[in-house]
Amino acid sequence: MNKLVSRAKMMKKQIFYILFLISTISFAQNPMVKAEIDTTNIRIGEQFQLKISVDETKNVIIPKIKLKGLEIVDSTKVDTLKNSLIRKYILTGFDSGAFYIPQQQIFVKNQAYLTDSLLVNVATIAVDTTKVKKFPIKAIKAEPYTFDDFKIYIYIALAILAIIGFWIYWFVIRKRKEEEEVPTYRTLPPYEEAIFKLNELDEKLLWQNNKVKEYYSELTEIVRGYIERELNVPALENTTDEVLEMINDFKKSDTIETSKETIAKLKDLLREADLVKFAKSKPLAIEIEDDRKDAEFIIGNLKPKQITAQEDELE
């Protein structure tokens, strides 16, 4: 019984060794993959070519090349030629000595294959120091300037420009705009200014849009402003009764040219405006249009009396 067991164990060991030997042989002997170099001797810095060929085009994986002492300068894409794949690498070495390109593992249809290892000798370049021209030691070269070297000056310049721009805007452009925005009618004579403002009021269409209170406020302000400029009295600040009292006093003293009709229209207009502004009165459209006509009539028929040369001599 023991002999049978020992024989079985021996057979298992033999089968294992046979399988291991077969796998080793198939892994090492790989006619499907091949690695070649165009030279085995180079000088430091020279380049040479490594070519890996695979006699198969489907399910081929060429991993990254592993090197020791040598460096990859460039590589090409995989080329397909008939029934094989080829990939080329440009290599070089910067240290003298003998270096191996180790076996590279290539996978073909999930089966691993190894290329041959290759030996490359890298030789130094002999330098004849007697023929080399000597040069003086160069001075230390300054590093190139970067943005960080100038950013503080750029920030200061931007701040100065911002201050100058603000100063120009505030004291030049803004002042010029304010001068340009001054209404031209302020320089007109009192009568022309009042007529201009009446036309502007008509264009606003205030009472037509149910803004009767705003309309009468502007209408009486135009009339009061005309009286203030033409007769040189504070008509805008005084009440309706005070304005009417001043006009009557001027009429009695014969210092203005007007009629009782003009004064009556002025009284009716100012009273109507007070009712609209303070008593919320709502005049009809025809009444509003009449008040507009009366305002223009008052402006045209209320003016200071012109003193003739003869009257001036009498005074």
With CA atoms as reference, report the closest residue to 297 among 275, 274, 268: 268
At the second CATH level, the architecture of 31-123 is: Sandwich (2.60)
**What are the b/e assignments for 124-152, b being 16+ CB within 10 Å?**
eeeeeeeeeeeeeeeeeeeeeeeeeeeee
Contact 50, 75 (CB under 8 A): no
- Structural domain boundaries of the chain? 31-123, 146-182, 185-314
Using a cut of 0.85, tell me whether the model's pTM lies above it: no
- The answer to whether the beta carbons of residues 252 and 260 sit under 8 Å apart is no
Tokens of 155: 């920030």
**Sequential pLDDT tens for the chain (315 residues):** 555 545 665 665 566 555 444 444 444 445 679 889 999 899 988 999 999 888 887 888 888 888 888 988 888 888 887 788 888 999 998 888 899 889 888 888 888 888 888 899 998 876 566 665 666 777 777 777 787 777 888 889 999 999 998 888 888 887 777 666 655 545 789 999 999 999 999 999 999 999 999 999 999 999 999 999 888 888 888 898 998 898 888 888 888 888 889 889 999 999 999 999 898 888 999 999 999 999 999 999 988 887 654 444 444
